[in-house]
Amino acid sequence: MSADTGPASGDSAGLLNGLVSHGDSKTRRVYETARSLHSGAVKDLLSLGVCERCIFRLVAVEAFDSDISSVSTSTLHSWLKSGDDETGSSESSCSRICIVCLGILQFVFSDAKKELVKSDSSSDYVARITDLVKQDRHEFDSFGLEVSVPSTIMENERAVLSYLKGKYSTEGWLQRDKISVKDALKVLLLDQLKASLGAESDSSSFHIRLTYSKASDEAQGASETTHESKKRKTDAENGSNCISENSFEKYQVYEPCIFSVHCNKMPIFFSGRYFKYSRNVSQSRWIIDDERMGEASVEEILGGNILPACLGDSYKFHAAGREDIDVRMLGSGRPFLIEVQNSRQCPSEQSLKEVEEKINNSEKKLVGVKDLKCIGSQCWAMMREGEAEKQKQYVALVWISRPLEEKDFNSVSSLKELKILQKTPVRVLHRRSPLDREKIIHWLVKIYREFQILLTLKLLLFSNNSQSLWFQYSG
């Protein structure tokens, strides 16, 4: 095989001298790599319909890096087939959709309108991606790049490698691990994307996802039966030389992948305390048989005002406990979190103060809020801990059947750490097990009127479902 190894045929001195005169060391290195590839393998791959960048992936292997992005598809093609009259006489592989990457590394795709889009260089492709990202109006200073490709690519690549192993089994380059289409695309685009977006690439909370989906089964040459497909895959994995050049006719691709860009940001969280002043407002949106229960909900009032300030897609409401629709929430308020999905911006402190004022100064005054602020994702763990062990204070008005004397108050006030058992209330039996749950009354304080006692109660919940009650009499 050594006789076929080395520069592809044709005098390339003029091209090389031009590159040297321009002083482009990156381009020169790519050129020299292209001219050093196994000419027989290059010729076979071009004939099969494998694109130029996939040839670099499969044959050059270790030489595949971001420098290749500086060279256009047409230039790469001319370097790989320069002077090869036989290859040049057939349909140019530069104009065909690659049977392996389905056009992804050729920067050819169908857009949302099913219109064919071609970019000869990675810079044009990056400019298009940048425009799509900026249209989504996200604020970010770093990003993570994700790529999703059809599984057909792996199957077709196995078939091509199986074919090559049948002809060039002794070649060292064939034994090396190959860079995947997904990773190759990241290599080609990432540095330019960082410069174009003015952001670093890391494990960011903001992700740019490039999704390539098959145009159709027919377009991807997948008309073979399930049995044939499985056999092809098994043979390729075993390195079987059962795949002939003629069999690649059914692999030909007539439509590129459908390409889309999706931007997504990890959720951001807002914490605070809410008050509920109305006895006709549920905590969360409550619909029964298509009929709303209550006038509104705390969830909708808070989330509906916070979401627009973030330009987010949606929100989730979380609270440390809950109260019934006809129970008010006063005192210091109930802690809550608003989780905003895919926010385009994080509102400033001033913006959040304006949101607070809007809620608190609403005409109906159904709900109030205080201490509204943006916090990190660790707040979720903190809130879960708070739910496992939390204290509440309740107020109740108690009528007594007889006048109380001072000794009665002294007796009640002397009770400390009083353990009681509470059965599951009937109203929640549909969602909670019928159990006796232990609670503890830590202390009681009296405020007295004749025949009336105003009862204030604090509740402490534990993760094992036991609860502690703190009673405080006030009047």
For 30-69, the DSSP string reads: HHHHHHHS-HHHHHHHHHHT--HHHHIIIIIGGG-SGGGG
> In the structure encoding, which two tokens stand for residue 374, read together?
């943006």
Return contacts of 63-67, CB within 8 angstroms, 24+ apart.
63/33, 64/179, 64/184, 64/187, 65/187, 66/187, 66/188, 66/190, 66/191, 67/26, 67/27, 67/29, 67/30
The CATH 3.30.70.3190 portion of the chain extends over 389-475
**pLDDT for position 305:** 96
What does 283-334 look like in DSSP terms, one character per residue?
A: SS--EETTEE-SSEEHHHHHHHHHHHHHT-SEEEEEESS---TT--EEEEEE
pLDDT score at 386: 52
Q: What is the Cα 209 distance to its own chain's centre?
A: 8
Residue-by-residue DSSP string for 15-29: HHHHHHHHT-HHHHH
Domain spanning 267-386, CATH architecture: 2-Layer Sandwich (3.30)
Amino acid 221: pLDDT: 44
Taking the C-alpha atoms of residue 306 and residue 299, their distance in angstroms, rounded to an integer, is 11
The rounded Cα 229 to chain-centroid distance in angstroms is: 32
DSSP string, 131-149: HHHHHTT---SEEEEEEE-
**What contacts 200, CB < 8 A, 6 or more positions away?**
141, 142, 143, 194
Give the domain 389-475 fold: Alpha-Beta Plaits (3.30.70)
H or E, element range at 259: strand 258-265
* Residue 252 burial class via C-beta count within 10 angstroms: exposed 0-12, middle 13-18, buried 19 and up: middle
Name the DSSP letter for residue 104: G
| Cβ–Cβ under 8 Å, residues 434 and 424 | yes
pLDDT (tens, 9 = 90+) of the chain, 475 residues, equals: 444 544 444 444 555 545 544 447 778 888 888 888 888 888 989 988 899 999 988 887 676 877 888 788 888 888 887 645 454 444 455 678 999 999 999 999 988 888 888 887 888 899 999 999 999 999 999 999 999 999 989 999 999 998 888 888 888 788 888 899 999 999 999 999 999 999 998 888 899 999 999 876 444 444 443 444 555 455 545 544 556 666 666 677 778 899 999 999 999 999 999 999 999 999 998 888 888 888 999 999 999 999 999 999 999 999 988 888 989 998 888 889 999 999 999 999 999 999 999 999 998 999 999 999 998 767 766 666 555 555 566 666 777 788 878 888 788 778 788 888 989 888 778 778 899 988 877 777 765 555 555 555 555 444 333 333 333 333 3
Q: Do 317 and 302 touch, CB atoms closer than 8 A?
A: yes
Question: How would you classify the pairing of strands 200-201 and 142-148?
Answer: parallel
Contact present, 223 and 253 (Cβ < 8 Å): no
Q: What is the pLDDT of residue 393?
A: 65
Give the C-alpha separation, 139 to 161, whole Å: 43
The helix/strand/coil state of 124 is: helix
Which residues sit opposite 395 in a β-bridge? 456
Task: Read off the tokens for 40.
Answer: 């027989």
Per DSSP, 424 falls in state P
Active site residues: 324
Residue span(s) of the chain under CATH 3.30.70.2510 come to 267-386
C-alpha pair distances (Å), 268 with each of 15, 65, 350, 376: 54, 36, 17, 7
Identify the CA nearest to 59 among candidates 46, 71, 78.
46
The kind and range of the H/E element at 471 are: strand 467-473
Query: DSSP letter string over 267-288?
Result: -EEEEEEEEE--TTEESS--EE
The region that residue 465 occupies, defined by phi over 0 for left and psi between -120 and 50 for alpha, beta otherwise, is: left
CA distances from 389 to 12, 196, 382, 463, 464 (A): 77, 49, 11, 7, 10
pTM of the predicted structure, to 2 decimals: 0.72
